[in-house]
Structure 1
């Protein structure tokens, strides 16, 4: 007598196992799960990048840009013009490190004759990146005063000399503006090192 498989003892009939629709559904589900996992991983990487400090090799992107951030070229920074606000850009994830305003910098081009020799190693094609946070009370520095070649904070009118390593020239600011070292790679502005000092207002002793 032949052994006849019991339909109740198997999970699926041959017709179900070989169903093209089921195979297609399984493939679609697997692809969806894979994409969801990759999307979550990319989001985690982007969040980590946004909240971390500037890294060597980061590019710079305009802080006021719309849409997808793009790496800036040194040629975009014009001489004797209002400074350009920017954030470091993680080239791996494409995310700006804008999770903290302490990462924000202002880009300014300084004429060679106005650039102190000690500052030259921090410049990329004459372009310097200074912290945009005033060292007095943390207001944002956004103005350029052509008359005396200084960066100015409008809150209490502190002035800083970009050509002299962010030295305080006027006002109540207690210390120089931190510099973010730059270099050029194929004309693109790239971070070459950490801030020369902690950005923002110095903590009380």
Structure 2
């Protein structure tokens, strides 16, 4: 049997994975176990809550965290301060949540300025990912949110927090986001991706990063 060359290999998927633990009940022992598992799986990064920073024994892992999470309903100054503290505590990347209500209302200057405030707090080489909560937005708003994030200097746009009742990542949203940013920004698919098939579909749609809490299961189902 020949391998399916249209699907990413295990190594290719692992190189895209943010191994994630953002449950509010996570203990220090849970976070330490996440880091150890991430290292054993050979993934790119871990993504944890900012209060768990700094992390220990991360080796070559990229350390990502969140700000304005999960609602996005924080003043921009608060998001920026949270992001700056996270960077000081060792975060390489920050995944911020936009004010989804502002996006739904079409207040794109406000969305752009919100992202810009956090961008200023996460200077290069720090990486800023912008969570637009795509399942809560119509297609035109998804496009406009991606454009606002790009205008504010973001490095990635990201589908979802994984906590919104509207749902997580979809192939349609990822494809729309990837078409909008045209390779100028990365696209992170996150929320509800639990199988190798789902991960492969997101990559085929244009995802360049995957936020996974089920990393082991996804990688186990991916061909070497």
TM-score (norm 1): 0.29
Q: Which protein has the bigger strand share?
A: 1
Higher Rg of the two aligned structures = 1
Instruction: Answer 1 or 2: which has greater helix percent.
Output: 2
**Normalising by structure 2, what TM-score?**
0.27
